[in-house]
Amino acid sequence: MDSSPLVAHVSPAATIAYRETAPGILRAVPVREFLADVARVAAAMPAGGYVLNTCADRYRFTVTLAAAIVSDRISLLPSTHTPETVRRMRDFAPDVFCLTDQADSAIDLPTCHYPEASAEAGETGNLPDVPVPRIPDGRCVAYVFTSGSTGAPVPHAKHWGNLVRNARAEARHLAGAFGGQPPAIVGTVPPQHMYGFESTVLLVLQSGGALHGGRPFYPADIAAALAAVPRPRMLVTTPFHLRSLLAEADSVPPADLLLSATAPLSQQLAREAEERFGAPLMEIYGSTETGQIATRRTTAGAAWKTFPGVSIRAEAGDDPEEPSRFFATGLHLDQPVPLGDILDLQDGENFILLGRSADLINIAGKRTSLAYLNHQLTAVPGVTDGAFLMPDEEAADGVTRLTAFVVAPGLTAAAVLQALRERVDPVFLPRPLVFVAALPRNATGKLPRDALRALQAQAETARRPGSDA
């Protein structure tokens, strides 16, 4: 059976991670120490074939992932760890246990706390060099779950060989920014999410790079983490985090590459990011189902290009009024995988993203997408965040009314609506427009539909006569 190595680093002494020993001070972790940590954590795992890996520290997450792989366990990687999500994990895999680095973890599962190495064991000069484990390509090593932004999370099996092929394709695609040297990678996205899993963990393991062990969230912390790792270095982030960073940080350190995903990025924000960081910005296109399959440099135009070996085809439906469905195939995909987006397919390797199939809106014969409306809303000067919500059901009078939530300190509803009138057709204006202090985004900057519906319910309660809200 074919197999692939756990890590692709050329030497046991090569750096695979940077861990913070004091604020702003990092220690380089060599591969030999990483492999010793993997063996120790694998030996400490309790019985059970499935692991819910909730480690917040990216290095501990990666060690735990690798320990599960070498001990023939399967990692469950939902993007949230709410009580309902944990119940779903237990239903999916009754023998699942949780491995965490959180002292106050409230996960309702048998729980094992991450076992740190003793000070003596951590002396890297005393660690022997051991062979890098090879993992059968056909082994299922993880189930990654959709984010739930359009419904209940759905599991997708990930096999080692396909993950390796995909990560190596990403490494080759991005290598030009690093001058042939493996990069240090700082991520603002959690490793449990498919994007963070691929671009801050698997990319490191299969490119010879090194990860920053933390997960900085606040702008000052992100800038400090990036400044602390050596060049070449890459920041893996989202439009939400990038917008906050550029708005709040007085200065940012130079980078060699910026990577963004989870939502399309505006050219204006991309240009500002490239100017401030002095680095090109690339966007990743993909999904939990497909993994990453295409990139674009946002400032160069709207078109996306697939990774070499990946192709996309269109398949028309029976109804000529309905848009075609699109399928990705090749490279790491064992069979054609349907995409949840509507594309303007220029050829099998180049396309324009028009919006998600589930986001398409038809009101009074006019069509648009939630992604387009959200982009126009957040482009209004003074709006720091915003999102539209499509109702689940048509109103009794047959008129579809969109709701929009907006974070816009200093603006009035009249000002926001007037700006939207200049950007979108009047039939898509929100009714109502709800001002909020913040949107309930998850760790990747996405807005789960259930969270928006809960926000809508709160707003409706507040508007009722006699409400104290």
Q: What is the pLDDT of residue 38?
A: 97
Q: What is the pLDDT of residue 399?
A: 63
Helix (H) / strand (E) element for 168: namely: helix 160-174
What's the chain's average pLDDT? 89
Pull the structure tokens for residue 302.
């709207």
Rounded (to 5) percent helix, strand, coil in the chain: 30, 30, 40
Q: What is the pLDDT of residue 398?
A: 53
- Three-state DSSP class for residue 247: helix
- DSSP category for residue 436: -
Residue 211 reports pLDDT greater than 70: yes
**3-state helix/strand/coil string of 315-352:** ECCCCCCCCCEEEEEECCEEEEEECCEEEEECCCCEEE
pLDDT digits (tens, 9 = 90+) for 300-355: 999 999 999 999 999 886 666 666 889 999 999 999 999 988 888 999 899 998 77
Mean pLDDT to the nearest integer, 410-436: 90
Q: What is the pLDDT of residue 54?
A: 95
Q: In the chain, where are the structural domains located?
A: 3-301, 364-463
Give, rounded to a whole angstrom, the gap between the first and last alpha carbons of the chain: 63
Pick the residue with more confidence: 356 or 224? 224
Residue 222 reports pLDDT greater than 90: yes
d(Cα 240, Cα 243) in Å, to the nearest integer?
A: 5
Burial 452-461 (b: 16+ CB within 10 A, else e): beebbeebee
Residue with tokens 């993997």: 38
In Å, how far are 148, 337, 364, 418, 438 from 327, measured between CA atoms? 21, 5, 30, 40, 36
E-strand ranges in 365-428 read 366-369, 385-389, 403-407
Q: What is the pLDDT of residue 441?
A: 86
Q: What is the pLDDT of residue 469?
A: 40
Residue 95 reports pLDDT greater than 90: yes
pLDDT digits (tens, 9 = 90+) for 133-192: 999 999 999 999 886 555 567 899 999 999 999 999 999 999 989 988 999 999 999 999
- DSSP category for residue 118: P
**Cis? peptide before 232, omega within 30° of 0:** yes
CA 332 from centroid of its chain's CA atoms = 19
Residue 230 reports pLDDT greater than 70: yes
d(Cα 398, Cα 130) in Å, to the nearest integer?
A: 68
Q: What is the pLDDT of residue 141?
A: 98
- DSSP category for residue 278: T
d(Cα 86, Cα 386) in Å, to the nearest integer?
A: 29
Q: Which of 75-84, 107-116, 162-171, 202-211 has the lowest mean pLDDT?
A: 75-84
d(Cα 359, Cα 456) in Å, to the nearest integer?
A: 18
pLDDT digits (tens, 9 = 90+) for 176-201: 899 889 999 999 999 998 999 999 99
This prediction has a pTM of 0.81
CATH number for the region 3-301 comes to 3.40.50.12780
What radius of gyration, in Å, describes the C-alpha atoms of the chain? 23
- One-letter amino acid at 339 equals L
| Confidence band of 239 (pLDDT split at 50, 70, 90) | confident
Instruction: Name the phi and psi angles at 223, rounded to 5.
Output: -60, -40
E-strand ranges in 248-394 read 257-260, 281-287, 291-297, 304-306, 311-315, 325-330, 333-338, 341-345, 350-356, 360-363, 366-369, 385-389
Q: What is the pLDDT of residue 447?
A: 81
In Å, how far are 325, 400, 429 from 322, measured between CA atoms? 9, 20, 24
Q: Which of 20-24, 243-247, 393-397, 398-402 has the lowest mean pLDDT?
A: 393-397
Q: What is the pLDDT of residue 374?
A: 87
Residue with tokens 């990678």: 185
Q: What is the pLDDT of residue 13?
A: 95
Q: Smallest Cα–Cα separation from 294: which of 348, 243, 253, 249? A: 348
Pick the residue with more confidence: 413 or 394? 413
Q: What is the pLDDT of residue 322?
A: 64
pLDDT digits (tens, 9 = 90+) for 240-263: 889 889 988 888 999 999 999 988
Residue with tokens 């700082």: 186
d(Cα 128, Cα 126) in Å, to the nearest integer?
A: 6
In Å, how far are 65, 81, 95, 100 from 109, measured between CA atoms? 18, 11, 9, 11
> What are the residues whose beta carbons fall under 8 Å from the beta carbon of 242, sequence distance 6 or more?
258, 260, 265, 269, 273
Contact assessment for residue 357 and residue 343, using Cβ atoms and an 8 Å cutoff? no
Q: What is the pLDDT of residue 396?
A: 47
Percent with pLDDT over 70 in the chain: 91
d(Cα 247, Cα 40) in Å, to the nearest integer?
A: 43
Pick the residue with more confidence: 153 or 61? 61
Most confidently predicted of 9-18, 21-30, 173-182, 378-387: 9-18
DSSP 45-106: --S-SEEEE---SHHHHHHHHHHHHHTT-EEEE-S---HHHHHHHHHH-TTEEEEE--TT--
In Å, how far are 10, 31, 314 from 125, measured between CA atoms? 18, 12, 56
Burial 193-222 (b: 16+ CB within 10 A, else e): bbbbbbbbbbbbbbbbbbbbbbbbeebeeb
Q: What CATH fold (topology level) applies to the domain 364-463?
A: GMP Synthetase; Chain A, domain 3 (3.30.300)
